[in-house]
Structure 1
């Protein structure tokens, strides 16, 4: 028996690479039954999956834990017939093919919702389901560039800079999951499913937030500011005696507290530093003044002093130090797993918790390709002999 807040739902996962699996991971972690549809080994095409067919790679485990795996060749009529049987009892079908592929396969939203009108059909694309760029191949870095993120990332005059994580992919996945959950809630009222759509480009633009608003409302084109905030100073990274420190002295009160903590009270009365706009105009002067003082103590010393003064700040961790941080350990976002080949490992957990559905036990390892094919087909009424015939024909 499945446990978790979403255990009553069944998700058919026809996604690959990263954006789609990111969306599905939420449902798998929250207890939904997720059946991952994979092209059978030996069938033409194969999986265009991060990690390829090496299902023990770290990225694969982190993306695909808590799922079942059914091999299914949807280019074959028998494969589509099996999918149709699954759709009859499913709540969600999610795909991230190029927009035209689902129609060529005969598994578009109209076809599948004709079988099950309550089905939520979800699609993630690079640039949308229609329009002039609809069939462009969608990749995270391309969306970061076209969506404006790279133009505001990095140091001034250094040229566009991609952020260090696949942000467009991840945001598209999370927005898609949010859309699916919204559609499932709406289905409780209407009794009907619907088509949920998002794209890497839309999701990336949505994440621009105040940077986009500067253009849309004020007609100001934001630029690059490196580690600093474009609208307030001083913020960003400063060198200490033994490393680096992040500070966010936003607004007049924080500026006052910072100057007092650094022993720089005279800056409070200096011309040109009396407000955020003035300090932004004199950014180099402010940063030079506070930067010299930060070099006199360690990161830990400054963190303690500034937090006591009420100034937001914190160390800058490498990834290994992130997971050694006592607060991170306390939050429990590192999820343990016992893996049959890799042994005791950890995964990145969900950044939210539910009081009535605390996470219990360990994550289930990502399935090897086709691990659950036989069991799922038997649920649908297929005999062992028929399953063997479908395997021989590379349908499953």
Structure 2
């Protein structure tokens, strides 16, 4: 067992990653981190994100490097018939195909969505697209932020002053990559039972809509369209940003016991007993008044000392750290969440930790 799974849980799995940008490549990287043999197919110009810089890590853009480690690569010009035959020959040897070709591009090459499974019936064909092939938006191009805008994510982010605001991470692309990976693993499990592969499809649009919790549930329950809440949670309070004498902190008080503990440490015991604040529904309705009370109580406190005291008494909260502070946090080092490899590569480790088959980091992102 140890030798057979020497690189991780997916040792021996052959993946052909013909995707570009982020959703598909991230899925390929996750599979590679856990032992799969991933071959990235690029056109002569390379993945679009190779040009998404500066900054660069060695000869690759930092953006490209973030989603393409643990892969080897080959260059094929799929506009050329001979290279398309080479691609199909690689497909014959693969367990998984990840691709995000446009339907019109496939048609131009004489292929369709059924071509790959007809050729290799055991193949798990994972297709990542913006909107799917059919429907009002079928076949249209999509990038993360445009889909954030279309699917309501921007409408609930930000506040009255900012207006609708882009989430500061490519959250739709990354969720799409995660769900593509889940779909691939589900299909592999089904193949273990049936011997047959299948098409796995996930779209940026579907993933963006799936991220609307709890706003979608709130709307479906009330018919009232959610509004931007800034740093506050729409259903829970105090779940918000507060200024202290030494900088901002975030309180994430999720139940009445935590609220009573918070009030005790702030010498606000009478507030915890007030019927307007004693339960979360009451606090949520009366959040405007409660926010003023808490702001006054916290404004003279040392934020980091307050956080340290509260979390050790069971109240979730945190200082609002920069990216630099998060990556240099001692707990980040303790959990081994940063990876350094050859060719100057630095990246964030896999967050999926298995006791018997941990992830491995074998190859830096390939140069073109």
CA distance in structure 2 between the aligned counterparts of 1:71 and 1:313, rounded to whole angstroms: 48
- Residue of structure 1 in register with 2:50 after alignment: 51
Once the two structures are superposed, residues 87-144 of structure 1 have per-residue CA deviations (whole angstroms, 9 ceiling, x without a partner) of: 1110111111223322322343321212210011111111112111112211101111
Aligned-pair CA distance for 1:48: 5.0
Of 4, 10, 16, the match for 1:12: 16
* CA-CA distance at 1:332 after TM superposition: 0.9
Determine helix, strand or coil for the equivalent of 1:133.
coil
CA distance in 2, matches of 1:232, 1:180: 35
Q: Tell me the CA shift for residue 19 of structure 1.
A: 1.3
Secondary structure, counterpart of 2:50 in structure 1: coil
1:96 is aligned to 2:100: yes
Quick one: distance in 1 between partners of 2:43 and 2:235? 50
For residues 117 and 111 of structure 2, what CA distance do their matches in structure 1 show? 9
Deviation by residue 1:70-98 (Cα, 9 ceiling, x = unmatched): 11111111111111111111011111122
CA contact (8 A) 1:335 1:363 kept: no
Q: How does 1:1-396 map to 2 (within 5 A)?
A: 3-40=7-44, 46-47=45-46, 49-52=48-51, 55-156=59-160, 158-339=162-343, 343=344, 345-360=345-360, 362-369=361-368
Larger radius of gyration: 1
TM-aligned CA deviation for residue 33 of structure 1: 0.9
TM-score w.r.t. length of structure 2: 0.92
Look up the SS of the partner of 1:180 in the other structure.
helix
Unaligned runs of 5+ in 2: none
Q: Please state how far the C-alpha of 1:157 moved relative to its aligned partner.
A: 5.5
Between 267-276 and 18-27, report the one with greater CA deviation: 267-276
Q: What secondary structure sits across from 2:98 in the alignment?
A: strand
Q: Summarize the Cα distance change of 1:323–1:363 in structure 2 as closer, same or farther, 3 Å threshold.
A: farther
Q: How well do the aligned residues superpose, as a CA RMSD in angstroms?
A: 1.8
TM-score, reference length from structure 1: 0.86
**Partner-residue secondary structure (3-state), 2:202:** strand
Deviation at 1:275, TM superposition (A): 2.5
Contact 1:183 1:196 in 2 (8 A): yes
Distance 1:308 1:70, change over 3 A: closer
Equivalenced residue count is 359
* Residue aligned with 2:281, SS: helix
Q: Deviations over 1:183-225 (max 9, x none)?
A: 1110111111111111101001111122111122332322111
2:251 aligns to what SS in structure 1? Answer: strand
SS of residue matched to 2:227: coil
**Retained in 2: the 8 A contact 1:99–1:125?**
no
Deviation, structure 1 residue 169: 0.8
